[in-house]
Chain A
Amino acid sequence: MSELDRHLAEAARGLPVAGPPAEAIDRLYARAEEENLIDVAYAQVDSPLGPLTVAATRRGLVRIAYPDRALDQVLERLAEAVSPRILEAPARLDPIRRELEEYFEGRRKRFDTPIDWALSRGFFRRVLQTTARIEYGQVRTYREIAAGAGNVKAVRATGNGLGSNPMPVVVPCHRVVRTGGGLGGYTGGIERKEFLLALERG
Protein backbone atom coordinates (compact mmCIF):
# COMPACT_ATOMS: atom_id res chain seq x y z
CA MET A 1 0.00 0.00 0.00
CA SER A 2 1.47 3.33 -1.05
CA GLU A 3 1.57 6.43 1.12
CA LEU A 4 -1.21 7.96 -1.00
CA ASP A 5 -3.41 4.89 -0.51
CA ARG A 6 -2.88 5.12 3.24
CA HIS A 7 -3.83 8.81 3.26
CA LEU A 8 -6.96 8.11 1.20
CA ALA A 9 -7.97 5.18 3.40
CA GLU A 10 -7.46 7.23 6.56
CA ALA A 11 -9.42 10.17 5.14
CA ALA A 12 -12.24 7.80 4.13
CA ARG A 13 -12.37 6.41 7.68
CA GLY A 14 -12.99 9.97 8.90
CA LEU A 15 -16.13 10.38 6.76
CA PRO A 16 -19.56 10.20 8.42
CA VAL A 17 -21.16 6.75 8.33
CA ALA A 18 -24.74 7.55 9.32
CA GLY A 19 -25.76 9.80 6.42
CA PRO A 20 -26.80 13.44 6.75
CA PRO A 21 -27.87 14.79 10.16
CA ALA A 22 -31.55 14.50 11.12
CA GLU A 23 -32.18 18.25 10.60
CA ALA A 24 -30.94 17.97 7.01
CA ILE A 25 -33.30 15.05 6.41
CA ASP A 26 -36.19 17.04 7.92
CA ARG A 27 -35.43 19.96 5.61
CA LEU A 28 -35.25 17.63 2.61
CA TYR A 29 -38.63 16.03 3.42
CA ALA A 30 -40.24 19.43 4.04
CA ARG A 31 -39.05 20.62 0.63
CA ALA A 32 -40.10 17.39 -1.09
CA GLU A 33 -43.57 17.79 0.43
CA GLU A 34 -43.74 21.43 -0.68
CA GLU A 35 -42.79 20.46 -4.24
CA ASN A 36 -45.37 17.64 -4.35
CA LEU A 37 -42.69 14.97 -4.65
CA ILE A 38 -43.96 12.67 -1.89
CA ASP A 39 -46.72 10.53 -3.38
CA VAL A 40 -46.98 8.36 -0.26
CA ALA A 41 -45.90 9.49 3.21
CA TYR A 42 -45.83 7.00 6.04
CA ALA A 43 -45.16 6.92 9.77
CA GLN A 44 -45.37 4.58 12.72
CA VAL A 45 -48.21 5.37 15.12
CA ASP A 46 -48.36 3.76 18.56
CA SER A 47 -51.66 2.17 19.56
CA PRO A 48 -52.99 -0.30 22.13
CA LEU A 49 -52.93 -2.84 19.26
CA GLY A 50 -49.20 -2.32 18.69
CA PRO A 51 -47.35 0.14 16.46
CA LEU A 52 -49.36 0.79 13.28
CA THR A 53 -47.83 1.73 9.94
CA VAL A 54 -50.00 4.56 8.63
CA ALA A 55 -49.64 5.87 5.06
CA ALA A 56 -51.31 8.72 3.21
CA THR A 57 -51.27 10.10 -0.32
CA ARG A 58 -52.01 13.75 -1.01
CA ARG A 59 -55.68 12.70 -1.38
CA GLY A 60 -55.95 11.03 1.98
CA LEU A 61 -55.33 8.00 4.16
CA VAL A 62 -54.41 5.00 2.00
CA ARG A 63 -53.10 2.30 4.37
CA ILE A 64 -53.04 1.22 8.00
CA ALA A 65 -51.03 -1.93 8.69
CA TYR A 66 -50.83 -3.96 11.87
CA PRO A 67 -47.29 -4.70 13.10
CA ASP A 68 -47.44 -8.34 11.98
CA ARG A 69 -47.31 -7.16 8.36
CA ALA A 70 -43.67 -6.78 7.21
CA LEU A 71 -43.04 -3.09 6.58
CA ASP A 72 -41.09 -3.64 3.35
CA GLN A 73 -43.96 -5.68 1.90
CA VAL A 74 -46.50 -3.01 2.84
CA LEU A 75 -44.33 -0.35 1.17
CA GLU A 76 -43.63 -2.45 -1.93
CA ARG A 77 -47.34 -2.98 -2.48
CA LEU A 78 -47.86 0.80 -2.20
CA ALA A 79 -44.99 1.39 -4.64
CA GLU A 80 -46.67 -0.88 -7.21
CA ALA A 81 -50.25 0.26 -6.69
CA VAL A 82 -49.71 3.99 -6.07
CA SER A 83 -46.15 5.25 -6.65
CA PRO A 84 -42.57 4.44 -5.61
CA ARG A 85 -42.13 8.02 -4.36
CA ILE A 86 -42.61 6.86 -0.78
CA LEU A 87 -40.93 8.55 2.19
CA GLU A 88 -41.12 8.21 5.94
CA ALA A 89 -42.32 11.79 6.32
CA PRO A 90 -44.50 11.79 9.45
CA ALA A 91 -45.74 15.41 9.23
CA ARG A 92 -48.52 14.50 6.77
CA LEU A 93 -49.82 11.87 9.17
CA ASP A 94 -50.23 14.23 12.13
CA PRO A 95 -54.03 14.68 11.71
CA ILE A 96 -54.77 10.95 11.44
CA ARG A 97 -52.33 10.25 14.28
CA ARG A 98 -54.36 12.60 16.53
CA GLU A 99 -57.65 11.06 15.42
CA LEU A 100 -56.39 7.55 16.15
CA GLU A 101 -55.16 8.60 19.60
CA GLU A 102 -58.55 10.11 20.40
CA TYR A 103 -60.34 7.02 19.07
CA PHE A 104 -58.28 4.64 21.22
CA GLU A 105 -58.93 6.88 24.26
CA GLY A 106 -62.67 6.58 23.57
CA ARG A 107 -62.99 10.29 22.79
CA ARG A 108 -63.64 10.01 19.05
CA LYS A 109 -66.56 8.21 17.41
CA ARG A 110 -65.94 9.13 13.77
CA PHE A 111 -62.84 9.65 11.62
CA ASP A 112 -62.81 12.90 9.65
CA THR A 113 -59.62 12.30 7.71
CA PRO A 114 -60.22 11.89 3.95
CA ILE A 115 -59.70 8.43 2.47
CA ASP A 116 -57.88 7.45 -0.72
CA TRP A 117 -59.35 4.14 -1.97
CA ALA A 118 -56.45 3.54 -4.39
CA LEU A 119 -55.65 0.07 -2.98
CA SER A 120 -59.08 -1.48 -3.61
CA ARG A 121 -61.16 -1.96 -6.72
CA GLY A 122 -64.56 -3.05 -7.93
CA PHE A 123 -66.75 -5.08 -5.60
CA PHE A 124 -64.14 -5.06 -2.80
CA ARG A 125 -64.08 -1.29 -2.86
CA ARG A 126 -67.88 -1.13 -2.66
CA VAL A 127 -67.80 -3.57 0.27
CA LEU A 128 -65.31 -1.36 2.10
CA GLN A 129 -67.21 1.84 1.31
CA THR A 130 -70.41 0.25 2.63
CA THR A 131 -68.52 -0.83 5.75
CA ALA A 132 -67.16 2.70 6.24
CA ARG A 133 -70.75 3.87 6.84
CA ILE A 134 -71.39 1.57 9.83
CA GLU A 135 -71.54 3.82 12.85
CA TYR A 136 -69.47 3.59 16.01
CA GLY A 137 -70.65 0.89 18.39
CA GLN A 138 -72.97 -0.69 15.76
CA VAL A 139 -72.52 -4.04 14.00
CA ARG A 140 -73.76 -5.37 10.65
CA THR A 141 -73.75 -8.88 9.21
CA TYR A 142 -71.72 -10.03 6.19
CA ARG A 143 -75.02 -10.48 4.38
CA GLU A 144 -76.07 -6.89 5.05
CA ILE A 145 -72.76 -5.59 3.75
CA ALA A 146 -73.04 -7.81 0.65
CA ALA A 147 -76.48 -6.33 -0.01
CA GLY A 148 -75.19 -2.79 0.57
CA ALA A 149 -72.37 -3.40 -1.90
CA GLY A 150 -74.91 -4.50 -4.52
CA ASN A 151 -74.82 -8.31 -4.44
CA VAL A 152 -76.67 -9.96 -1.60
CA LYS A 153 -75.48 -13.42 -2.70
CA ALA A 154 -71.80 -12.55 -2.58
CA VAL A 155 -71.36 -13.19 1.14
CA ARG A 156 -68.07 -15.06 0.72
CA ALA A 157 -66.64 -12.39 -1.59
CA THR A 158 -67.71 -9.82 1.00
CA GLY A 159 -65.66 -11.69 3.61
CA ASN A 160 -62.67 -11.65 1.26
CA GLY A 161 -63.18 -7.95 0.58
CA LEU A 162 -63.21 -7.20 4.29
CA GLY A 163 -60.13 -9.39 4.73
CA SER A 164 -58.36 -7.21 2.17
CA ASN A 165 -59.25 -3.99 4.04
CA PRO A 166 -56.19 -1.74 3.62
CA MET A 167 -57.34 0.61 6.40
CA PRO A 168 -58.47 -1.43 9.43
CA VAL A 169 -59.83 0.57 12.40
CA VAL A 170 -60.66 3.61 10.22
CA VAL A 171 -62.68 1.48 7.77
CA PRO A 172 -64.38 -0.46 10.56
CA CYS A 173 -64.42 -4.02 9.23
CA HIS A 174 -64.39 -5.10 12.90
CA ARG A 175 -68.07 -4.01 12.98
CA VAL A 176 -69.05 -6.81 10.56
CA VAL A 177 -70.09 -10.06 12.27
CA ARG A 178 -71.85 -13.35 11.48
CA THR A 179 -75.61 -13.57 11.18
CA GLY A 180 -75.85 -16.00 14.11
CA GLY A 181 -73.93 -13.64 16.38
CA GLY A 182 -70.47 -15.18 15.85
CA LEU A 183 -67.60 -12.71 15.46
CA GLY A 184 -66.36 -14.01 12.10
CA GLY A 185 -62.76 -13.45 11.08
CA TYR A 186 -60.42 -10.49 11.24
CA THR A 187 -57.24 -9.63 9.32
CA GLY A 188 -55.46 -8.44 12.43
CA GLY A 189 -56.45 -11.51 14.47
CA ILE A 190 -59.69 -12.13 16.36
CA GLU A 191 -58.31 -10.64 19.62
CA ARG A 192 -57.99 -7.27 17.95
CA LYS A 193 -61.57 -7.48 16.67
CA GLU A 194 -62.75 -8.26 20.23
CA PHE A 195 -60.67 -5.38 21.60
CA LEU A 196 -62.15 -2.86 19.14
CA LEU A 197 -65.75 -4.02 19.69
CA ALA A 198 -65.26 -3.84 23.48
CA LEU A 199 -63.70 -0.37 23.17
CA GLU A 200 -66.76 0.83 21.27
CA ARG A 201 -69.22 -0.71 23.77
CA GLY A 202 -67.53 1.67 26.26
Chain B
Amino acid sequence: MTPPPFQALLDAHGAAVHRFLVASVGPSEADDCFQEACIAALRAYPRLAHTDNLRGWLLRIAQRKVIDAHRARARRPIPLPVTPEVGGIAARPPPEAIDGQPAVWAQVRALPEKQRVAVFLRSAAGLPYAEVAEALDCSQDAARRNVHEGLKRLREEWSA
Protein backbone atom coordinates (compact mmCIF):
# COMPACT_ATOMS: atom_id res chain seq x y z
CA MET B 1 0.00 0.00 0.00
CA THR B 2 1.26 3.47 -0.88
CA PRO B 3 2.02 5.54 2.21
CA PRO B 4 0.07 8.81 2.50
CA PRO B 5 1.54 12.06 1.14
CA PHE B 6 4.49 12.99 3.36
CA GLN B 7 2.96 16.39 4.04
CA ALA B 8 -0.09 14.69 5.60
CA LEU B 9 2.25 12.75 7.89
CA LEU B 10 4.00 15.95 8.99
CA ASP B 11 0.69 17.75 9.50
CA ALA B 12 -0.63 14.90 11.64
CA HIS B 13 2.47 13.99 13.68
CA GLY B 14 5.06 16.75 13.27
CA ALA B 15 4.00 18.50 16.47
CA ALA B 16 4.28 15.32 18.60
CA VAL B 17 7.72 14.58 17.17
CA HIS B 18 8.79 18.15 17.88
CA ARG B 19 7.52 17.96 21.48
CA PHE B 20 9.49 14.76 22.01
CA LEU B 21 12.60 16.46 20.63
CA VAL B 22 12.23 19.68 22.68
CA ALA B 23 11.93 17.60 25.85
CA SER B 24 14.80 15.29 24.85
CA VAL B 25 17.44 17.73 23.61
CA GLY B 26 16.11 21.18 24.51
CA PRO B 27 14.54 23.83 22.27
CA SER B 28 17.76 25.05 20.64
CA GLU B 29 18.78 21.63 19.29
CA ALA B 30 15.24 20.37 18.66
CA ASP B 31 14.89 22.10 15.28
CA ASP B 32 18.12 20.57 13.96
CA CYS B 33 17.09 17.12 15.18
CA PHE B 34 13.68 17.60 13.59
CA GLN B 35 15.34 18.42 10.27
CA GLU B 36 17.69 15.41 10.49
CA ALA B 37 14.79 13.11 11.36
CA CYS B 38 12.59 14.37 8.50
CA ILE B 39 15.39 14.11 5.95
CA ALA B 40 16.08 10.52 7.06
CA ALA B 41 12.35 9.75 6.94
CA LEU B 42 12.02 11.21 3.42
CA ARG B 43 14.94 9.07 2.23
CA ALA B 44 13.29 5.89 3.47
CA TYR B 45 9.67 6.83 2.73
CA PRO B 46 9.10 5.44 -0.80
CA ARG B 47 10.42 2.02 0.26
CA LEU B 48 8.43 1.82 3.49
CA ALA B 49 7.09 -1.72 3.83
CA HIS B 50 4.15 -1.23 6.22
CA THR B 51 2.25 1.96 6.80
CA ASP B 52 0.05 1.12 9.79
CA ASN B 53 1.97 2.95 12.53
CA LEU B 54 3.57 5.94 10.89
CA ARG B 55 3.82 8.07 14.03
CA GLY B 56 5.75 5.32 15.80
CA TRP B 57 7.98 4.93 12.73
CA LEU B 58 8.68 8.67 12.60
CA LEU B 59 9.48 8.73 16.31
CA ARG B 60 11.79 5.75 15.92
CA ILE B 61 13.82 7.83 13.46
CA ALA B 62 13.60 10.88 15.74
CA GLN B 63 14.85 8.97 18.78
CA ARG B 64 17.89 7.79 16.81
CA LYS B 65 18.68 11.44 16.07
CA VAL B 66 18.31 12.20 19.77
CA ILE B 67 20.83 9.48 20.62
CA ASP B 68 23.20 10.95 17.99
CA ALA B 69 22.76 14.39 19.57
CA HIS B 70 23.38 13.04 23.09
CA ARG B 71 26.53 11.28 21.95
CA ALA B 72 27.76 14.36 20.07
CA ARG B 73 27.15 16.44 23.17
CA ALA B 74 28.95 13.94 25.37
CA ARG B 75 32.03 14.38 23.16
CA ARG B 76 31.92 18.16 23.49
CA PRO B 77 33.58 19.70 26.56
CA ILE B 78 30.44 21.58 27.60
CA PRO B 79 29.26 20.90 31.15
CA LEU B 80 25.76 19.48 31.37
CA PRO B 81 23.38 21.10 33.81
CA VAL B 82 23.68 18.81 36.81
CA THR B 83 21.46 18.30 39.76
CA PRO B 84 23.23 19.58 42.86
CA GLU B 85 24.59 16.66 44.81
CA VAL B 86 24.48 16.40 48.54
CA GLY B 87 26.82 13.81 49.99
CA GLY B 88 27.05 11.98 46.67
CA ILE B 89 23.29 11.47 46.42
CA ALA B 90 21.11 13.49 44.07
CA ALA B 91 19.13 15.97 46.09
CA ARG B 92 15.45 16.75 45.69
CA PRO B 93 15.09 18.55 42.37
CA PRO B 94 14.76 22.31 42.39
CA PRO B 95 11.22 23.26 41.32
CA GLU B 96 12.46 26.03 39.04
CA ALA B 97 13.54 25.56 35.45
CA ILE B 98 17.08 24.99 34.17
CA ASP B 99 17.85 27.07 31.06
CA GLY B 100 14.18 27.90 30.79
CA GLN B 101 13.45 24.16 30.76
CA PRO B 102 11.66 22.30 33.53
CA ALA B 103 14.16 20.64 35.87
CA VAL B 104 12.39 17.31 35.50
CA TRP B 105 13.44 17.07 31.81
CA ALA B 106 17.10 17.42 32.82
CA GLN B 107 16.59 14.56 35.26
CA VAL B 108 14.94 12.35 32.66
CA ARG B 109 17.86 13.12 30.34
CA ALA B 110 20.24 11.66 32.92
CA LEU B 111 18.46 8.24 32.79
CA PRO B 112 19.96 5.33 30.86
CA GLU B 113 19.27 5.54 27.11
CA LYS B 114 16.27 3.22 26.74
CA GLN B 115 14.52 4.45 29.87
CA ARG B 116 15.13 8.04 28.88
CA VAL B 117 13.68 7.62 25.39
CA ALA B 118 10.75 5.58 26.70
CA VAL B 119 9.84 8.16 29.36
CA PHE B 120 10.03 11.02 26.84
CA LEU B 121 7.93 9.16 24.27
CA ARG B 122 5.34 8.52 26.94
CA SER B 123 5.26 11.83 28.79
CA ALA B 124 6.40 14.41 26.21
CA ALA B 125 5.00 12.94 22.96
CA GLY B 126 2.03 11.37 24.77
CA LEU B 127 2.34 8.02 23.00
CA PRO B 128 0.42 4.87 23.96
CA TYR B 129 2.63 1.88 24.83
CA ALA B 130 2.03 0.26 21.43
CA GLU B 131 3.69 3.22 19.75
CA VAL B 132 6.44 3.51 22.35
CA ALA B 133 7.19 -0.10 21.44
CA GLU B 134 7.18 0.67 17.69
CA ALA B 135 9.48 3.66 18.22
CA LEU B 136 11.88 1.66 20.41
CA ASP B 137 11.58 -1.39 18.15
CA CYS B 138 10.80 -3.61 21.14
CA SER B 139 7.80 -5.45 22.59
CA GLN B 140 5.01 -3.60 24.40
CA ASP B 141 6.05 -5.32 27.63
CA ALA B 142 9.60 -4.08 27.22
CA ALA B 143 8.33 -0.57 26.45
CA ARG B 144 6.19 -0.59 29.59
CA ARG B 145 9.11 -1.90 31.65
CA ASN B 146 11.45 0.83 30.41
CA VAL B 147 8.97 3.57 31.29
CA HIS B 148 8.30 2.08 34.74
CA GLU B 149 11.95 1.53 35.56
CA GLY B 150 12.80 5.06 34.45
CA LEU B 151 10.07 6.58 36.60
CA LYS B 152 10.97 4.34 39.54
CA ARG B 153 14.56 5.51 39.36
CA LEU B 154 13.52 9.17 39.28
CA ARG B 155 11.29 8.65 42.32
CA GLU B 156 14.14 6.95 44.19
CA GLU B 157 16.44 9.87 43.43
CA TRP B 158 13.82 12.27 44.66
CA SER B 159 13.18 10.53 47.93
CA ALA B 160 16.86 9.93 48.64
Contacts and interface: CB of A to CB of B under 8 A. Distances in A.
Q: Which 4 A/B pairs are nearest by Cβ-Cβ distance?
A: A11-B102, A86-B5, A24-B31, A75-B5
B8 interface: yes
Given A2-B155, A20-B31, A32-B42, A86 B14 contact: no
A25 B35 CA distance: 8
Interface string A1-17: 01110011111101111
Contacts of A4: 104, 151, 154-155, 158
Interface string A64-78: 000000001001101
B39 A32 contact: yes
Interface string B99-119: 000111100000000000000
B128 interface: no
Contacts of B3: 79, 84
Interface string B29-46: 011001100110011011
Nearest to A89: B7
A121 interface: no
Contacts of A39: 46
Interface residues of B, number: 37
Contacts of B123: 8-9, 11-12
Contacts, number: 103
Interface in A5-52: 7-12, 14-21, 24, 27-28, 31-32, 35, 37-40, 42
B158 A3 contact: yes
Interface stretch (B18-26, B69-77, B83-91, B138-146): B18-26
13 contacts: A2-B155, A12-B23, A12-B123, A15-B19, A15-B22, A20-B34, A24-B34, A27-B35, A75-B8, A76-B5, A84-B5, A84-B6, A84-B46
Contacts of A87: 6-7, 10
Given A20-B14, A84-B5, A87-B6, A32 B19 contact: no
A86 B8 CA distance: 9
Given A3-B158, A11-B105, A24 B35 contact: yes
A80 interface: yes
A189 to B, nearest CB: 26
B2 A80 contact: yes
A16 B18 contact: yes
A85 B6 contact: yes
A179 interface: no
A83 interface: yes
Contact of B104 (A11, A17, A31, A32): A11
Contacts of B8: 72, 75
A75 B10 CA distance: 14
A88 B158 contact: no
B124 A12 contact: yes
Nearest to B43: A37
Contacts of B81: none
Residue among A20, A32, A42 with the highest chain B CB neighbour number at 10 A: A20
A79 B158 CA distance: 50
B31 A16 contact: no
Contacts of B124: 11-12, 15
